[in-house]
Structure 1
Amino acid sequence: MLGLLLLGALAAAQQGPPTDGAGAERRVSDQVRAVIAHYRSADPVGMPGVPVDDPMPIPDMRQSFSFNTMTFKNSSVHGLSKFRVDHVETDLTAMQVTVKVTIDLLQMKGQYTLSSLFTRSSGDFLVNLTTAHVIGHGKLQVQRSGQLQAEDINMDIVVEDISLDFQNLGFMGSLIQGILNSIGTFLFDSIKPFILQQVNTNIRGEVNRNLLGIPQRFPNSIPPLDMAIAEARRYVRDQGYDPYRVEDYHYSNLVFSADISHVWLSGLASFHRVGDVSVNVTRSRLRVDLHVGTGVLEGRCHWEVGLGAVLSRPGTTSFTVDYLQVRVLASQPLDVRNTPVLEDLQLELGNIQMRFDGAGTADYVVELAVNVLPNLLRYQIVNALEKPLKKRIQEVLDSLDIEEILEEKLPQLDRL
């Protein structure tokens, strides 16, 4: 629910500035600033701009039991906007989002009438629904026109405790005391579908209205995430990282020495998505888990191996690497005064096959190189990519002032 709303709020940045009922202009930048300020709180409750009716009116209800009938009128549910976001899990591959929120207290207020064969009582009633957990599952789909649209948002609500307070029950209170507990469950089960239907309709409509403002159209056969990865591949090529020059490497011990130099790798720009890509929000921190991999990499290098100080053999070789996979886990506090952090970066290199040129394999020195060089080359490639990549990514993240960047970009949203 909330994840789709946030997506809709971001999409609203693509629209012209909306207006409120009085016709006054509400700038998109002001809406974003409100969300930013909201998450500076140590205990952020609710969400600025989220279209939740609070209080939400409930239709009249009637329940009969034994020889008694209760009617409930002028009822409304209070507290729906006082939610806390526990967890948001977004699967960008499947275009799905799951949100878990908690509401400390929901209250249903209204007037009741209790009628029996011989007596009648009426007054105000209050139902306290303590610790309500709301779980929502939503999905975005690309329509035939290429427009992103939100499908049904499926939600459920469970509560940990229900307590009731009926005024003016008088003598009837003692007679129906055993039934009151079931009345609480009846009221909750009765209002639950109505709440879910109304919230689903309001949220889906709001999200879709915002998504209509996105000028980008997506082929319905290609997920938008894969289009973004295609743009990243083009960036890698334009920056000259394919082919990539790997730093020279020297290894030696008391008996054996090896030098690998002039190493070039081709195919790094062939990377594609591997598995799912997720965006999660937990404890006011947003985490992105991205897993990409390449196809077969091709390379060439110069090598020289030696035994002791008397025997050595130089040569050149071409080689292939079955794949290179990179998994990145980065996080950003929702309080944007803090900088993003690279939490983890993992590289996995596939099998390396080398094709030696020059000396024949009958030479036992070259036979040793055939067995040893692939492992040394594997270490050389991983070491050349992993450590500098981690360091450089974190340096870039440390240099980012997210709050300042947002302030620079927000005026652009108002001009779109």
Structure 2
Amino acid sequence: MRDHFVILLLSLLTLGRTQDVTDDDTTDPRLAEGEKKMSDSILEILEHFKQPDPVGIPGANIPDPYPVPDMKQSLAFGTVLYFRNSSVYGISKFRIVYIDAEIGAMEVQAVLTIDKLQARGAYTMSTWLNKAQGPYTVDVGGLKIHAKANLGVERDGKLRAQNINIDIGFSNITVDFQNLGIMGSVFQGVINSIGPFVFESIKPYILKEAYTKVRAEINTKLDEVAGDMQFPNSISPLDMIIADARKTVRAMQMDPYKIKDYNDSVSIFSITLSNTWVIGISSFQRVGNITLKMENNAAIADFDIGTQKLEGMTQWEITALSGVMSRAGTASFSVEYVSGRLIVAQPLDTRKRPEFRDLDLEVGNIQVRCNGAGTLDYVIEAAVNILPNLLRYQIMDALEGPLKDKIQQELNNINVEERIKKELHKVDEMQEQGFKLSSLKSNDLPEEPYDEDEFFNF
């Protein structure tokens, strides 16, 4: 699904002026002769965002100047304005303020700014007094573009672009009509108000084409990457992917998961935990939304995920006085659920390291059963079953800081730019094969329930 939203965002950024969809019936997914590799485009974008103030996006198919159809408008006092051969300059010089993709809702919002746009062309002004014509320019400053779009599953099970909304505003505007002559002083008030009128006259033509072209381009790309798949209306495509990921985790034999043996010594005592298993890791699910953002020259991922019930068992042994005294037994445990919200940011300048911004953990009710310690079994069970449940919020708050620091240390060791470049060949392979989403989907795996007695037969 990530590729869907990349396509959606890029289509919005071009304001709909993408290349027309042709009726070529070829089905050969191989790169056409001279077609640019996706890896080359990615490398250009990586270099582009190393700038402190990146403007535009390399490779975005945005015509500059942007041609506008001829227009006619009637004003006060019998004045009629004609605009012809008009074009807008500077439309490719945009800055991204933010992009917010709500993956669960399949909705994208974006805000772009352009410092200055200029419309140039020829005008004719006819009034009951006189007629004037010549070149004109309109300078628009502080342009702000709000774009919003979402995908949805149609009745045929196909993903389609649905609601699309784009609006354009500005902070200031100036107009220069040449060759007005005496009409320049007579109609000065009209001329002063003509700037917003010209802008509002041009905007519907831009937006009308944008809605049509953006929707067509998004749907074309969706057919290319997911045209051979059907999605149900009852579950979001994101949750389908998560469900498929759960099957993959089980296929990788990570659920049940065996934890490495643990050994530690305290004073004269030594403790060993061995043959420790955990069941339920693959029960992870989306608890809240999953949001991908781009703002302040950084890509931000905000995840809210959790698991269902986790269960486990371990064999323990306590020795004292170098083995003179020893005691062994088994213990089983269960955790009602574990959930967490994680926020990770990656500067668009990939020479910089990822940043772990926030971690919020929550743990459900904890239960432990112990066997082998004699009467101490009851003491251990009471201590573990009561105290952690009473103090689990305080325990989680205490763990969040060290965990965040540990994760940040690991992130500091990641060379993002180098890893991206190492994976670029896979992107080219996907491009060669046609970017089919179905090729990323694992084969259906049989649902085989776990026999709990196999792990908890004490």
With normalisation by structure 1, the TM-score equals: 0.80
Distance 1:80 1:200, change over 3 A: farther
Query: Are the aligned partners of 2:123 and 2:133 in contact in 1 as well (CA < 8 Å)?
Result: yes
* Alignment correspondent of 1:125: 136
> Equivalents in 1 of 2:381, 2:196: separation in Å?
80
Q: 1:323 aligns with which of 337, 346, 363?
A: 337
Query: Are the aligned partners of 2:68 and 2:206 in contact in 1 as well (CA < 8 Å)?
Result: no
Query: Are the aligned partners of 1:59 and 1:74 in contact in 2 as well (CA < 8 Å)?
Result: yes
Q: Secondary structure at the match of 1:208?
A: helix
1:49: how far off?
Answer: 3.6
> Equivalents in 2 of 1:207, 1:38: separation in Å?
24
Q: Secondary structure at the match of 2:204?
A: helix
Is 1:229 matched with 2:252?
no
* Alignment correspondent of 1:40: 50
Aligned pair count reads: 400
> Equivalents in 2 of 1:406, 1:8: separation in Å?
27
* Alignment correspondent of 1:287: 300
> Equivalents in 1 of 2:295, 2:371: separation in Å?
54
**What is the correspondence of 1:85-100 to structure 2 with a 5 Å cutoff?**
85-100=96-111
1:7: how far off?
Answer: 7.8
* Alignment correspondent of 1:217: 229
> Equivalents in 2 of 1:40, 1:15: separation in Å?
36
* Alignment correspondent of 1:198: 209
> Equivalents in 2 of 1:390, 1:16: separation in Å?
41
1:232-275 residue CA offsets vs partner (Å, 9 max, x unmatched): 3234332535345387698999xxx9989566432121110111
> Equivalents in 2 of 1:314, 1:387: separation in Å?
35
* Alignment correspondent of 1:276: 289
1:24-53 residue CA offsets vs partner (Å, 9 max, x unmatched): 534444433433333233332222343434
Distance 1:344 1:113, change over 3 A: same
Amino acid aligned to 1:328:
L
Query: Are the aligned partners of 2:342 and 2:358 in contact in 1 as well (CA < 8 Å)?
Result: yes
Is 1:404 matched with 2:408?
no
Q: Secondary structure at the match of 2:170?
A: strand
> Equivalents in 2 of 1:76, 1:297: separation in Å?
63
> Equivalents in 2 of 1:7, 1:232: separation in Å?
29
* Alignment correspondent of 2:60: 50
Q: 2:29 aligns with which of 16, 19, 29?
A: 16
Structure 2: runs of 5+ lacking an equivalent: 14-26, 319-326, 434-458
* Alignment correspondent of 2:452: none
**What is the correspondence of 1:5-404 to structure 2 with a 5 Å cutoff?**
5-6=9-10, 16=29, 24-54=34-64, 55-215=66-226, 217-221=229-233, 222-237=235-250, 238-240=252-254, 242-245=256-259, 261=273, 264-300=277-313, 317-355=331-369, 371-372=386-387, 386=403, 390=407, 394=411, 397-398=414-415, 401-404=418-421
1:320: how far off?
Answer: 2.8
Is 1:4 matched with 2:16?
no
1:218: how far off?
Answer: 4.1
Q: Secondary structure at the match of 1:397?
A: coil
Q: Secondary structure at the match of 1:213?
A: helix
1:64-99 residue CA offsets vs partner (Å, 9 max, x unmatched): 212433222222222222211110000110111101
Q: Secondary structure at the match of 2:75?
A: strand
Query: Are the aligned partners of 1:236 and 1:242 in contact in 2 as well (CA < 8 Å)?
Result: no
Distance 1:146 1:37, change over 3 A: farther
Q: Secondary structure at the match of 1:45?
A: coil
> Equivalents in 2 of 1:252, 1:7: separation in Å?
62
With normalisation by structure 2, the TM-score equals: 0.73
* Alignment correspondent of 1:308: none
Amino acid aligned to 2:290:
V
Query: Are the aligned partners of 1:8 and 1:206 in contact in 2 as well (CA < 8 Å)?
Result: no
Amino acid aligned to 2:150:
K
Distance 1:340 1:89, change over 3 A: same
Q: Secondary structure at the match of 1:401?
A: helix
**Which 10-residue stretch deviates more, 210-219 or 191-200?**
210-219
Q: Secondary structure at the match of 2:288?
A: coil
Structure 1: runs of 5+ lacking an equivalent: 306-312
1:415: how far off?
Answer: 2.7
> Equivalents in 2 of 1:129, 1:106: separation in Å?
5
1:147: how far off?
Answer: 3.5
Q: Secondary structure at the match of 1:192?
A: helix
Distance 1:292 1:249, change over 3 A: farther
> Equivalents in 2 of 1:361, 1:111: separation in Å?
94
1:18: how far off?
Answer: 6.4
> Equivalents in 1 of 2:82, 2:244: separation in Å?
61
1:149: how far off?
Answer: 2.5
1:287-343 residue CA offsets vs partner (Å, 9 max, x unmatched): 1111211112223457899xxxxxxx9975544322101322222333344444444
Amino acid aligned to 2:229:
R
Query: Are the aligned partners of 1:17 and 1:26 in contact in 2 as well (CA < 8 Å)?
Result: no
Amino acid aligned to 1:31:
S
Identity %: 33
Q: Secondary structure at the match of 1:200?
A: helix
> Equivalents in 1 of 2:311, 2:42: separation in Å?
46
Amino acid aligned to 2:231:
P
> Equivalents in 1 of 2:416, 2:6: separation in Å?
30
1:354: how far off?
Answer: 3.9
**Which 10-residue stretch deviates more, 166-175 or 212-221?**
212-221
Query: Are the aligned partners of 2:344 and 2:355 in contact in 1 as well (CA < 8 Å)?
Result: yes
1:112: how far off?
Answer: 1.7
Query: Are the aligned partners of 1:272 and 1:292 in contact in 2 as well (CA < 8 Å)?
Result: yes
> Equivalents in 1 of 2:424, 2:381: separation in Å?
61
